[in-house]
Amino acid sequence: MAPPIYAGTLEKTWYYSFRLICALIFIFLIGPIFIIVPISFNAEPYFNFTPEMLALDPAGFSTRWYADFWNDSNWMLAVQNSFIIAIFATLLSTSLGTLAALGLSRAEMPFKTVVMALMISPMIVPLIISAAGMYFFYSRIGLASTHIGVILAHAALGTPFVVITVTATLVGFDHSLTRAGANLGANPTRVFFKIIVPLILPGVISGGLFAFITSFDEVVVVLFVGSVEQRTIPWAMFSGLREEISPTILAVATLLICLSIMLLTTLELLRRRNERLRGLSPG
């Protein structure tokens, strides 16, 4: 897309400079991904491009590291733990975050600012401090080194994302619809499930996906609160980089990148659907 015909020299210079800056920032952010993905198909156990790969020789490429991942019982246990912990943590954080957002959206809610600050504090406090605090607290109540402890810890980290997302969805919510439902004889439970939930569902799902990503990618808290039995994919990758350098880690990273792309695509589709429900044109 070219600049407008009436644009002056300075405007044209800024037009192209701005796009160049955006392209450089994009390359800076996405560049590591462009390196990881092809190296994960390296036929040799190296973390760099071999001469065969640079020459695009088919002999230099292989899917052996992906096969090693699927055939390794330790990696499969990590995958199982990651999904179990992330799914249950997402369900818990989505439920708590949605209820908190509904309460914060009410006009009569006292001390909204203070409560909101406390709800999003896990996003602000350094993760190492939260992890240390959770470790000492869960050790006292017997939840350290258990799946339940890790799930509760990840739910605490994911709840702020749900609160923020659902609160943003409720900004344009028309409360006259709930009053109309009540006037027509619907009880609060029916109003909630028939009117409120369908309208805020895209925001709830978006917040749940953010909570899932947060739990699935988290490594610091699980190192403190969990044990070998709760070993997750990020933990296995972290340990692999320290103990045994293997391109299998790059294969796992590539699979996680694909998963992230699918989740982000889902989030974008939900965002556009939410804007259509609120009468806004997606942009």
Residue 1 in this model has a pLDDT that exceeds 80: no
Judge if 51 and 87 occupy the same domain.
no
> Across residues 275-281, what is the average pLDDT?
60
Residue 182 falls inside a structural domain: yes
* Model confidence at 282: pLDDT above 60: no
Residue 221 belongs to a domain with what CATH number? 1.10.3720.10
CB 145 within 8 A of CB 229: yes
Nearest-10 Cα torsion for 89, 94, 97, 101: 170
Task: Please give the average per-residue pLDDT across 176-193, as a whole number.
Answer: 81
Point out the least confidently predicted range of 45-49, 185-189, 240-244: 240-244
**Cα separation of 82 and 230, whole Å?**
8
**Is 113 found in the same domain as 238?**
yes
How far apart are alpha carbons 77 and 55 in whole angstroms?
37
Mean pLDDT, residues 99-104 taken together: 86
Judged by DSSP in three states, 61 sits in strand
- What is the number of structural domains in the chain? 2
- Residue range 139-166: average pLDDT? 91
Q: What is the pLDDT of residue 283?
A: 47
What pLDDT, in 10s, does the model give residues 31-72?
888 888 888 888 888 788 888 888 888 888 888 889 988 998
> Is residue 115 scored above 70 in pLDDT?
yes
User: Does the residue 19 lie in any domain?
Assistant: yes
172 and 217, same domain (yes or no): yes
- 42 and 96 in a common domain: no
Instruction: Give me the pLDDT at residue 273, please.
Output: 72
State yes or no: pLDDT of 250 exceeds 60. yes
Question: Do residues 65 and 247 make contact, with C-beta atoms less than 8 angstroms apart?
Answer: yes
For residues 184 and 55, state if they share a domain.
no
What is the separation, in whole angstroms, between the first and last Cα of the chain? 18
Q: Give residue 91's pLDDT band: very low, low, confident or very high (50, 70, 90).
A: very high
pLDDT digits (tens, 9 = 90+) for 133-145: 999 999 999 888 8
87 contacts 153 by C-beta, under 8 angstroms? no
Determine what percent of the chain is predicted with pLDDT higher than 70: 95
| Alpha helices, H only, 142-246 | 147-170, 176-183, 188-191, 197-217, 220-225, 233-243
For residue 170, what are the CA distances in angstroms to 38, 49, 199? 43, 50, 9
Question: Could you tell me if residue 251 is inside a domain?
Answer: no
Residue 255 domain-assigned (yes or no) = no
Residue in 89, 85, 211, 235 with CA at minimum distance from that of residue 160 = 211
Tell me, what's the pLDDT at 157? 92
Do both 26 and 134 map to the same domain? Answer: no
22 and 102 both lie in a single domain? no
Which range, 35-49, 162-176, 211-225, has the best average confidence (pLDDT)? 211-225
pLDDT of residue 82: 92
Q: Are residues 208 and 235 in the same domain?
A: yes
Do both 79 and 195 map to the same domain?
Answer: yes
For residues 235 and 211, membership in a common domain is answered with: yes
Residue 167 · residue 104 · CB < 8 Å: yes
Range of the domain at 38: 9-60
Quick one: 80 and 54 in the same domain? no
Q: How far is 234 from 82, CA to CA, in rounded Å?
A: 9
Give a yes or no: residue 212 inside a domain.
Answer: yes
Q: Write down how long the chain is.
A: 283
Instruction: Show the tokens assigned to 107.
Output: 């006009």
Do 147 and 83 sit in the same domain of this protein? Answer: yes
| Confidence bin at 274 (pLDDT 50/70/90) | low
If you average pLDDT over every residue of the chain, what do you get? 85
**pLDDT at res. 191:** 81
The mean pLDDT of 246-269, rounded to a whole number, is 85
Judged by average pLDDT, the poorest of 17-21, 109-113, 127-131, 258-262 is: 109-113
- What per-residue confidence (pLDDT) applies to 112? 82
Q: What is the pLDDT of residue 267?
A: 77
Return the pLDDT at 58. Answer: 85
pLDDT of amino acid 48: 80
Question: Cβ of 164: how many Cβ atoms within 10 Å?
Answer: 19
Whether the per-residue pLDDT at 281 is higher than 70: the answer is no
